[in-house]
Structure 1
Amino acid sequence: MKKILFTIVSFAVFAQVLVAQSFTVSANKRYILKEGKPFVWVGDTAWELFHRLDREEATFYLGKRAVQGFTIIQAVALAEMDGINKPNAYGEKPLIDNDPTKPNEAYFKHVDFIIDKANELGLNIGLLPTWGDKVFKDKWGTGPEILDEKNAKIYGKWIANRYKNRTNIIWVMGGDRNPRIGTSDEAIWNAMAAGVVEGLGGNDKGLLTFHPQPNKEGSSEWFHDEAWFDFNMFQTGHCRDAAVFDRIQGSYERIPIKPVIDGEPIYEDHPVCFNANENGTTNAYDVRKAIYLDVFAGAFGFTYGCHDIWQMYSPKIEAVNGPKTYWHFALDLPAAKQVKYLKKLIESRPILDRIPDQSLILENNLMAYERIQATRGNDYVFVYSVMGKSFTLQLGKISGQQCSAFWFSPRNGEVKDAGKFENKGTKVFTPPSSGYGQDWVLVVDDEQKKYARL
């Protein structure tokens, strides 16, 4: 009887360990796994989700994103839009007396609901314990600054302990603020991360990163060598045709190796460079260019964002930087419905052996607006041509004597045959169409693998 009880207890402990280690980094340090399988990060920046939506609205939002193929929702507990002074949809503020050591149970029960609802729908949460303006106030934030080294660690431990048994959370420190030189900012973030790790029960119980403002090195600039820091995250911002591939490549080559992702590329429906009067607003093509170039340059996944949705724009709230569409309707903007095609492409071939490889193409150094970016696995190649420009492919870099190829449209998932050929020498490929908005992916396979044509 004692042996049986011991076995039951041992199995229960083992099961808890499995739960706590739901997300891990792959053996080659390039990708993230969930329950041992490659996890394709298809993110949405719903920063104000916990703060501005009620439960019915949150359920509608999450359901829509699940159907559209998203896999992770990035949201903030202590939100940016005066999130500690303005209550949530139920009149609750997150903290008592704005004290990070005194969380308001009623507020966090709403957060519980949303995290659990996401899990029911097969979605994960990139959970930011706080937005960065709670560490220091700048022109974007509404403060007040409430976090220091001591209370940041206490709060980090508390929130991690609360959610340590949720299997659908990846932890994101930061929140759109870069640590300032000559201040305690880095120490505060390190303290919060230490608290999260302690609350989870150790460094191997969850994955952590940091969400910065745009910079050259992403969050690795400050935290790459920290034990808690599991993968690098960029924000490449809201100007058109940023050279996101250079930043991803720089991180990809950094030692020690850590996975990399762009956690906030250019948003759909956003004022270009924050100036709609002079530059207009972004469109689906702007978004597609950023996310495909990110992934093909070495990112393990990608994040979509929408100017109307991050702030949950509606008639009930104060707008920021001129959103145009209420969030309920913005859920169906074109790029939001097109992210499923990149997800489908990634999942259609072996993921863990895929690497960026610009040596595959002779035209490998073009500017962002006409960029041609290449990536490959052991037995397949993807080449993204931003404007449908022709390019010369160097063959013989994947397995097989014969190759088969097809064109894949990021706009609608359309497929067009590109023939069969010997896997040697070079070959020029011309996409089915070219010009503004005519982006295409060439998919080349080892013919013997008989991979599906999507």
Structure 2
Amino acid sequence: MFRILFTLCLCLLMTTVAAQKLRVSDNQRYLVTEDGEPFFWMADTAWELFHRCDMKEAKMYLNKRSEQGFNVIQAVALAELDGLHSPNPYGQTPLNNDDPASPNPKYFEHVDKVIKMADSLGMYIALLPTWGDKLFKNSWGVGPEVFNVENAREFGKWIGKRYKEQDNIIWIIGGDRNPREGTDDVAVWNAMAEGIAEVAGGYENTLMSYHPQPRKLGGSSTWFHEQPWLDFNMHQTGHCANQGTYKHIRHDYELSPAKPVLDGEPLYEEHPNCFNAKELGYSDPADIRRIMYWNVFAGGFGQSYGCHNVWQMYSLEREGINGPLRPWPVALDLPMANQVKHLKNLMLSRPFLSRIPLQGIVQEQQEENDDYVIATGDRSGSYMMIYFPTGKTTAVDLSSLRGNALESNWYDPRTGVHFPGPDLSKKILNISPPSSGKGQDWVLVIDDQGMNFSPPGSSE
């Protein structure tokens, strides 16, 4: 009897929660699970995960990020940092003789295990088949440049077939490159995406996007918005603190046909601002929070996070890229890595699939600087959220809210704590957050009292 009970308990402990396959929502704005539940993309950037981490390190990393509320990990098969010639911890390189038509299965056995480990935690892998320097180096990256239209399709078919049964794979084509005019770059990326879709069940059974470099407005949409393989648009808004990233999200949100959009590479935590640490220092949590809330409130279906020490899996034994400040295992606990869950929790605390940008409620001309106040809410008017990046007093018009009896709460993006907000007996009024200045950002959550919503997190 004891042996039976022990075996039963062991089986329960070993039970895993596999990730459900994701799809685009019916309104073409968000992602949902197979069951139709809203999915808020909260990604960490671990470009070198497969290349530089052994299984013990990968397990530690994935468990930590899962505990912190991340649900997507962005990683690369043919990695950025000399990924074709520098072997993984088990002495394997990904291609035989640098030939995309001849992948090395031994290298991908490790990739397989990490993907399955993520799946057991209910986490998704946003998998880049290759970093962009394997198509063209563009003054950084060591390549070698190995892809053309023909072998890109073959490699796409090979890797697509290998992972077609993994429901936790999201395909990200490109790898930090904008296609060059007068070249075959667009054709190469199309061929790779089409090769994946061909063997993985067609466009309806694959979820794909494209990872570009920073541009003035459009990201992936610039070249691929009309492609049937591109399910959602992705931006890289870059590594400078003082930029209106919401304009990039807004640009793609307004495109037709509608497709979900997000920022897949914002300013990383502890990254040199504009790659110039000597004069501009490193990023701080206030800058990163502002970018994330701006993007989501502008219409993003989620948000990616990155840490400069973690994406490259920096250690003291390795040469760092652009001045990392500490080894990656230590950097896993930097402030923003523990604050991103508050954004996800807040957005999922209200009807998510009917959420729209509500920038028209701000009743004053705003300069495009760090004070920029931004709003989102339910299409039917059951709730509204207003983000104040620096606590600036701002005039707002609440007449689009449905109810006459409104309840407000202040939500702290640093802690997830909420407490009662101002009286809203008037529909047009000046809102003053609890504090102001850099790092004093707040969200005002306003609800129709009849809907029985409550902000996430503990209350005071």
Which interval holds the TM-score relative to the shorter structure?
Answer: over 0.9
TM-score (structure 1 length as normaliser)? 0.94
What is the match of residue 52 of structure 1?
52
What is the match of residue 117 of structure 2?
117
* Counterpart check, 1:298 vs 2:317: no
Aligned residue identity for 2:301: F
Distance 2:251 2:455 in 1: 32
Deviations 1:350-402 (A, max 9, x none): 10010011111113633231110000113110100010011122112122121
Structure-to-structure mapping, 1:372-391, within 5 angstroms: 372-377=373-378, 378=380, 379-391=382-394
- Which range moved further: 368-377 or 412-421? 412-421
Deviations 1:76-113 (A, max 9, x none): 00000000000001100001111111111111010001
Aligned residue identity for 2:22: F
What is the match of residue 4 of structure 1?
none
Deviation of 1:318 after TM superposition, in Å, equals 2.0
* Counterpart check, 1:396 vs 2:395: no
Unaligned ranges ≥5, structure 1: 1-18
Aligned residue identity for 1:433: S
Q: Secondary structure at the match of 2:424?
A: strand
Contact between 1:385 and 1:439, CA under 8 Å: does it hold in 2? yes
Deviations 1:178-202 (A, max 9, x none): 1000011111000001101112121
Structure-to-structure mapping, 1:276-295, within 5 angstroms: 276-295=277-296
Structure-to-structure mapping, 1:154-233, within 5 angstroms: 154-215=154-215, 216-233=217-234
Aligned residue identity for 1:59: K
Contact between 1:261 and 1:300, CA under 8 Å: does it hold in 2? yes
CA RMSD of aligned residues (A): 1.3
Aligned residue identity for 1:342: L
What is the match of residue 312 of structure 2?
311
Structure-to-structure mapping, 1:346-357, within 5 angstroms: 346-357=347-358
Distance 2:407 2:344 in 1: 21
Distance 1:222 1:145 in 2: 21
What is the match of residue 246 of structure 1?
247
Aligned residue identity for 1:381: M
Size of the aligned set, in residue pairs, is 435
Q: Secondary structure at the match of 1:369?
A: coil
What is the match of residue 79 of structure 1?
79
Deviations 1:312-359 (A, max 9, x none): 001232210010010001000001110011011011101001001111
Deviation of 1:420 after TM superposition, in Å, equals 4.6
Q: Secondary structure at the match of 2:342?
A: helix
4+ long deviations beyond 4 Å: none
Aligned residue identity for 1:412: T
Contact between 1:402 and 1:420, CA under 8 Å: does it hold in 2? no
Distance 1:376 1:386 in 2: 17
Deviation of 1:212 after TM superposition, in Å, equals 0.3
- Which range moved further: 30-39 or 152-161? 30-39
Deviation of 1:453 after TM superposition, in Å, equals 2.8
Aligned residue identity for 1:440: W
Q: Secondary structure at the match of 1:107?
A: helix
Aligned residue identity for 1:31: Y
Q: Secondary structure at the match of 1:112?
A: helix
Distance 1:105 1:368 in 2: 50
Deviation of 1:304 after TM superposition, in Å, equals 0.4
Deviations 1:241-277 (A, max 9, x none): 2111111111100111111000001100000000100
What is the match of residue 370 of structure 2?
369
* Counterpart check, 1:38 vs 2:41: no
Aligned residue identity for 1:371: Y
Q: Secondary structure at the match of 2:141?
A: coil
- Which range moved further: 371-380 or 65-74? 371-380
Deviation of 1:175 after TM superposition, in Å, equals 0.6
Deviations 1:131-161 (A, max 9, x none): 0000111222111000100000000011011
Distance 1:244 1:20 in 2: 30
Aligned residue identity for 1:393: V
What is the match of residue 3 of structure 1?
none
What is the match of residue 4 of structure 2?
none
Contact between 1:358 and 1:364, CA under 8 Å: does it hold in 2? no
What is the match of residue 451 of structure 1?
453
What is the match of residue 24 of structure 1?
23
